[in-house]
Each structure stands twice: as structure tokens, then as C-alpha cells.
Amino acid sequence: MELIYRGRQIHSVLKLNLEMDCWVPNADVSWEEGDSEFHQLLTGPVGYCKIIDQAELYAVEMAKTWIDAECTRTPSNESSEPEASEEASYV
């Protein structure tokens, strides 16, 4: 599944874990700032999702939660300049 949330693209990437007989929810979040493109790969828990639809929903919600946290950080919590401009662009 792919969708846009708060100006960022979310692409769910599901992996089948045969040993645990479950789906591992992952999400690739991407966005552009100026001439640069950024990606953040998020990995969910192993052994939690037995059904692929569960894993996809988990991946999307995990990505939205990460995006919300990134978009609401204050400048005093920033560790680098590019992220500080990111906050200004998306808040």
C-alpha cells in the first residue's frame, strides 16, 4: 500500500517470516526537502501479525505515528540542521 500523509509518502513493505509463521510490518517513509530526497525505514515487531492485512495496517499506522512525532518536534530537540528545516516545512 502507498499513501501520502502530511506531505510524506508511506510505502508498506511486508516480509514473511517463515520461522515464526507471521508477517513483519515494515514501512518506507520518503519525502523531499529542497533538492534532497530522504527515506526512513521503519521495522515493526516479529511474531505479531499472522494475517497480511494486519501487517499492512500496522505498517501504515507505525509510519503515521513516526511522521507525527517528527513533525511535532521542537527546535530545541533537533540534532541537525536539515531536520530543523523539516519541522518548519511540515508543522
Q: What integer is the mean pLDDT of 21-29? A: 97
Q: First and final CA of the chain: distance in angstroms?
A: 25
Distance CA 2, CA 74 (A): 28
What mean pLDDT is predicted for residues 11-24? 95
What pLDDT score does 12 carry? 96
In the beta sheet, which residues pair with residue 4? 9
- Top pLDDT among 91 and 27 is at 27
Instruction: Give residue-wise pLDDT tens across range 26-85.
Output: 999 999 989 999 999 999 999 999 999 999 999 999 999 999 999 887 454 444 444 433
| pTM across the whole model | 0.75
Strand 36-43's sheet: what is its strand order?
2-5, 8-17, 22-33, 36-43
| CATH architecture, range 2-85 | 2-Layer Sandwich (3.30)
Residue 89 has pLDDT above 90, yes or no: no
Q: What are 38's three cell numbers?
A: 530522504
